[in-house]
Chain A
Amino acid sequence: MNYRWDWSILFKDTYMGWLWSGLLWTVIISLASWAVALTIGLLAGAARSAPSRSARLLAGIYIDVFRNVPPLVQLFLWYFVLPEVVPDSFGLWLKRDLPYPEVVTAVVAIGLFAGSRVAEQVRAGIEAVGAPLMPAALATGLRPAQAYRLIVLPLGLRAIVGPLTSEFLITVKLSSLSLTIGVLELTAQSRHVENYTFQGFEAFTFATIGYLVIGLCVTGLMRFIDIRIGGAALRKTPA
């Protein structure tokens, strides 16, 4: 193997600046997409067990459609197709006046895809852990809405912090897709450095370590939450 190592390029002002700004964008996009995914996922997942038939149906369609179209295709639909099919004035606004159009589009696309996966976990948690408690909650005299809000939902959610950790990690990885529409996040910047310096090893190693560190932070944070709200303890108690 014929390769000239030069780790010093990682500390040259220009390249170091690119890589760190890439890392920052990856973190920003991941967090924002995760916020969207959690919000939509909670709503859609809870709607799957709603009393209203149309709410259940609507949430079911959302989950099925968004889970089964590749996220990259969804990103292209939001970015290339949406401005063409909405009324002209709105399309023009999307193309010209939306601040950080690529980043916002990426956050919406990734958030909605991840949201459909989160919704599936929420539904499973409610069905497996929360719903069986409904009769007991009703027997204590709570009204159905109260039983749902105070017992079924919180206990169902507590049980799925574990699976949500993997969904969070998947969201972080999905943020790399935004490079296809021109966002200079971590992967894009490492490619960028490779193109300029031919030091692919060093650049990709930086990105790899970056993702590993983010992954560790996410896992640590979720484990902390899991312990704090007692999800781990909940799973241990015999059902």
Chain B
Amino acid sequence: MSDFDWGIIARSSAFLAEGMALSALLVLVATVGGLILGFGLALMRLSSHRLLSVSASTYVTVMRTLPLVLVLFWFYFLVPLVIGRPVGSLTSALLAFVLFEAAFYCEIVRAGISNVRNGQSDAGLATGLRRVQVLRLIILPQALRAMMPLILNQIVIVFQDTSLVYVVSLHDFLTAASVVASRDGRATEMYALVAVVYLVICLGTTKAAEFYRKGLPS
């Protein structure tokens, strides 16, 4: 073990921190954007309007069948073409993440909403509330509580997914570490560090989600 140089971690910490900041930005944008869009998609899927529900479910199925790497390449290629001028890979990656993760958040929201029993919304309507009010005041609060552990789990997956921006050369945490690894020939130290950091963050969040779920009334 004597020829390992763990000091490399301290020396490259500023660079790695920048990478982690980009990973965090990707997770934040993908989650907030994905939840908003996913919520819209879920309402479309649950709507009685056939065209709306079929187009939303086709979108979700297609996105869920494609590897994220391919989706990143698609957007990397498409976004500048549609906009008509070159944009950075960050813009296209952010868009790809929002549109990709929306499909997964859609399924979580849909499951959350459909798990609230039908009688609840009938009862709400019978008391004279309008549809939007029933959704906002009766369905959503219950659905959100049930969705929270699943959302936390999805955030862990999104965080793991962000490492894939490696393929479009964005410097997230993993890519930053890999740059140092190949520049200084310190693959073992850098990838070991990356694995431990991801493990601690993801395992911590997973356990928190489990703990939360156990506290829920079933």
Contact = CB atoms under 8 A, between A and B. Distances in A.
Contact of A70 (B65, B73, B198): B198
Tell me whether chain A's interface is mostly helix, strand or loop, or mixed.
Answer: helix
Interface residues of A, number: 40
A90 interface: no
Contact of A68 (B62, B181, B206): B206
A73 B162 CA distance: 11
A176 B166 CA distance: 13
A211 B199 contact: no
Interface stretch (A78-86, A121-129, A156-164, A226-234): A78-86
Given A1-B84, A67-B206, A68-B206, A212 B69 contact: no
B21 interface: no
A177 B164 CA distance: 8
Interface in A170-187: 172-177, 179-180, 187
A215 B74 CA distance: 19
Interface stretch (A98-106, A130-138, A140-148, A200-208): A200-208
Contacts of B6: none
B174 A215 contact: no
A68 B188 CA distance: 19
Contacts of A80: 181, 187-188, 191
A169 B211 CA distance: 28
Contacts of B62: 208, 212
Interface in B180-207: 181, 187-188, 191-192, 194-195, 198-199, 202-203, 206
Nearest to B167: A180
Contacts of A190: 70, 73
Contact of B203 (A64, A74, A176, A207): A64
A173 B167 CA distance: 15
A149 B203 CA distance: 32
A71 B199 contact: no
Contacts of B178: 76
Given A68-B206, A70-B174, A179-B167, A173 B66 contact: yes
B124 to A, nearest CB: 29
Nearest to B159: A70
Given A2-B84, A65-B199, A70 B163 contact: yes
B192 A212 contact: no
A84 B195 contact: no
A186 to B, nearest CB: 8
Interface string B161-176: 1011011000000100
A72 B164 contact: yes
Contacts of A1: 81-82, 84
* Among all A-B residue pairs, the 7 with the closest Cβ atoms: A176-B67, A68-B202, A70-B160, A215-B65, A200-B77, A173-B67, A80-B187
Interface of B: 62, 64-70, 73-74, 77-78, 81-82, 84, 156, 159-161, 163-164, 166-167, 174, 178, 181, 187-188, 191-192, 194-195, 198-199, 202-203, 206
21 contacts: A2-B84, A3-B81, A69-B198, A70-B159, A70-B160, A70-B202, A73-B195, A73-B198, A76-B178, A76-B194, A77-B192, A80-B181, A80-B187, A84-B187, A169-B65, A173-B65, A174-B67, A176-B68, A179-B167, A191-B73, A204-B70
Given A73-B163, A200-B73, 14 more contacts: A69-B199, A71-B160, A72-B163, A72-B164, A72-B174, A76-B187, A77-B191, A77-B195, A174-B67, A201-B77, A208-B62, A208-B66, A211-B65, A211-B70
